[in-house]
Amino acid sequence: MQTQKVVIITAASRGIGAGCARELAAQGYAVSLFARSPQVLALAQELGGIGTQGSLTNLHDLTRLVETTLAQFGRIDAVVQSFGDPPRPDLLSISDAMWLENFELLFLSVVRLARLVTAPMQRQGGGAIVNISACDSQEPDLGTPFSGTLRAAMEGFTKLYAKRYRAERIRMNAIAPYFVADSMAELEGWHVPDDLMWQRPATYQECARVVAFLLSDAANFITGTTVKMDEARSAGI
């Protein structure tokens, strides 16, 4: 029987998702990686895990991800739900179709994946889920309308799920970072303030280490919360 802990990580071909994959593999997890890009297959092979190509907005793809993970490893101990960057249109130019598409990406995918992994976690006696939010969920910014509204809803679901499944030792938390990148060049096109605490963004590894802590037994009493990694940008909210 598989005793190594198993983690599913979405949007794992690059960015925060890939950073979490590398960090959690280094900490001993077996990784099941998911993304639309074929890069996810190469990263999974590099880390000794498995990769699945698909879309977060497609229920069939998410079902296939969970079924493939269970077939390969026989268990699911943790989930890191990461996302690509949503588009940044002007507020009232957003069509109903765009709202619905991004609702599926940033909110409904979290609900769907939670439905799929809860039963395996119940059978194992517990589990942990971390959703990747963003600091604009605390105070929406006109520059990121989908993130600022739909991730706020996702954080609300995080609290509700944590309350519902706390007795079964299944935890759900979120992190809300500010800018995350391994170089300033990656943030070209973004309005990055010149007063960052460390004169740079948080790295993917630094973000991943917070995620790893929330998945670990050291965080057994932490559930239903959003950990802000925003340099106190939302401290007054």
Phi-psi region of 85 (alpha: psi -120 to 50; beta: other; left: phi over 0): beta
- What is the average pLDDT across 13-29? 97
Instruction: Tell me what pLDDT residue 1 has.
Output: 58
The mean of the pLDDT values for the chain is 93
Sketch out the chain's domains with CATH numbers. 6-176+203-228 (3.40.50.720)
Distance from C-alpha of 132 to C-alpha of 151, rounded to nearest angstrom: 9
Length, in residues, of the chain: 237
Residue 218 CB contacts under 8 Å (≥ 6 apart), including other chains:
none
What pLDDT, on the 0 to 100 scale, is given for residue 237?
Answer: 58
Instruction: Give me the mean pLDDT over the 16-38 stretch.
Output: 98
> Cα–Cα distance between 125 and 118 in angstroms, integer?
10
Cα 207 from Cα 178, distance rounded (Å): 10
Instruction: Flag the least confident range among 31-40, 66-75, 82-91, 168-177.
Output: 82-91
Average pLDDT over residues 60-87: 95
Q: Is the dihedral of CA 67, 73, 74, 75 positive or negative?
A: negative
